[in-house]
Copies of this chain bind each other. A is one copy, B any other.
Amino acid sequence: MSRKSDTNLLTERSLFLFKSLVEHFIQDGLPVGSRTLARDTRLDLSPATIRNIMADLEDLGLLSSPHTSAGRVPTIKGYRLFVDSLLRVNALDEGEIKRIAREMDPEQDVKNLMEKTSSALSEITRLASVVTLPRIEGRSLQHVEFMSLSENRILVILVVNNKEIQNRIINTARVYSPAELQQATNFLNEKFAGKSLDTIREEIVEELERMKNNVNRQMQMAIEMAQKAFAGGEHREDYVMAGHTNLMDVAELSDVEKLKKLFDSFNQKRDILHLLEQSIHARGVQIFIGEESGYEVLDQCSIVTSPYEVDGKIMGVLGVIGPTRMEYQRVIPIVDITAKMLGSALNSH
């Protein structure tokens, strides 16, 4: 190692070789040997030389061999180097962009938009995809409406940011007349329309306080209803997924046990959600490779995420989940553009 290493290990040549090896491995998933590399590389070197270089790369922790007499595969650290410094991202296929754009009809309702986006993303990448629903916090109320369903059940309709419609049903202690509901509707719209839900909740608390001395029955009633209508619950953090089954094709996960664990964690959502949260504050594409994610089930997987934003505010995250040996150069730009397009689809109107 010593002297030799210092002059040799990080040469352009060895990096080039490393890159070729990773690309090879990504393509067909088989450990790559010196012969293969010697043959398919414009460098005119004998397998023996390449073996030397590969040994050096292994010392650096970038490669490892599954067993003595197999070729080499990239380690997590190797992938990291690859995606951070070596990767040249593909130009995007026009057709694919069009394809995504087509699904993103901004006329549809938000949940639907997310589902369409997710399934487009998974079909194009041929991997599993995930899209978190946009955070409702910080979004502004456009309109609220009460509608009587039966004796003491009232339907509340919240229109948020022009696009998203939420229905909630609240139970009331007494029966309200249509006129009363109408009054409450008018009052609350006048008072709260245009404000963010956060603000509204705060103001409701203040009003409740002030109310103690107030005698206006109408207002009192309206605020009480508002309290129920806007109460906690909220769109709890959630996401939609698509294309699970794409993962069943990848050889690394061909073990049913492993797959089941993975799918189960998708259903439970907790771990995945936590992971996505980490990337919500990063700007641009972020990549978790294998164990880096910190979740055992994702051992053999990489996750490529990007937050999507509206008016410069991050509203959520989307991404794809696939084997560590996914085609990063293809997937990364797709995730990137999809996030941007989703942001602007949410933005229009």
| Contacting residue for A165 out of B142, B143, B163, B167, CB 8 A | B167
Q: Quote the shortest CB–CB distance from A79 to chain B (angstroms).
A: 25
Q: Mark A252-273, 1 if CB is under 8 A from B, else 0.
A: 0010100110011001000000
Distance between Cα atoms of A249 and B263 in the complex (Å): 12
Q: Which of A156-204 contact B (CB under 8 A)?
A: 157, 159, 162-163, 165, 167, 169, 171
Distance between Cα atoms of A259 and B249 in the complex (Å): 11
Q: Return chain B residues, CB-CB under 8 Å to A264.
A: 245
A244 interfacial by beta-carbon distance below 8 Å: yes
Interface size class of chain A, counting residues whose CB lies under 8 Å from the partner chain: 20 to 34
Q: Which of A265-290 contact B (CB under 8 A)?
A: 267
Q: Quote the shortest CB–CB distance from A108 to chain B (angstroms).
A: 7
Q: Return chain B residues, CB-CB under 8 Å to A149.
A: 142, 159, 162-163, 349
A147, B145: Cβ atoms closer than 8 Å: yes
Closest to A163 in B: B149
Q: Return chain B residues, CB-CB under 8 Å to A249.
A: 260
Distance between Cα atoms of A260 and B250 in the complex (Å): 11
A169, B244: Cβ atoms closer than 8 Å: no
A169, B108: Cβ atoms closer than 8 Å: yes
Q: How many copies of this chain sit in the oligomeric assembly?
A: 2
Distance between Cα atoms of A216 and B339 in the complex (Å): 49
A213 interfacial by beta-carbon distance below 8 Å: no
A296 interfacial by beta-carbon distance below 8 Å: no
Known: A254-B256, A256-B259, A260-B248. A150 touches B162 (CB 8 A): yes
A155 interfacial by beta-carbon distance below 8 Å: yes
A109 interfacial by beta-carbon distance below 8 Å: yes
A237 interfacial by beta-carbon distance below 8 Å: no
B260, A167: Cβ atoms closer than 8 Å: no
Q: Quote the shortest CB–CB distance from A158 to chain B (angstroms).
A: 11
Known: A155-B165, A349-B153. A244 touches B256 (CB 8 A): no
Q: Which of A75-97 contact B (CB under 8 A)?
A: none
Q: Return chain B residues, CB-CB under 8 Å to A171.
A: 107
Q: Return chain B residues, CB-CB under 8 Å to A157.
A: 145, 147, 157
Q: Mark A276-317, 1 if CB is under 8 A from B, else 0.
A: 000000000000000000000000000000000000000000
B259, A244: Cβ atoms closer than 8 Å: no
Q: Return chain B residues, CB-CB under 8 Å to A254.
A: 256
Known: A159-B147, A159-B155. A169 touches B109 (CB 8 A): yes
Q: Return chain B residues, CB-CB under 8 Å to A107.
A: 153, 169, 171
Distance between Cα atoms of A68 and B169 in the complex (Å): 63
B256, A248: Cβ atoms closer than 8 Å: yes
A248, B244: Cβ atoms closer than 8 Å: no
Q: Return chain B residues, CB-CB under 8 Å to A259.
A: 248, 256
Residue from A109, A163, A254, A260 whose CB has the most chain B CB atoms within 10 Å: A260
Q: Quote the shortest CB–CB distance from A243 to chain B (angstroms).
A: 9
A-B pairs with beta carbons under 8 Å apart, 7 shown: A107-B153, A107-B169, A147-B157, A149-B163, A153-B349, A165-B167, A245-B263
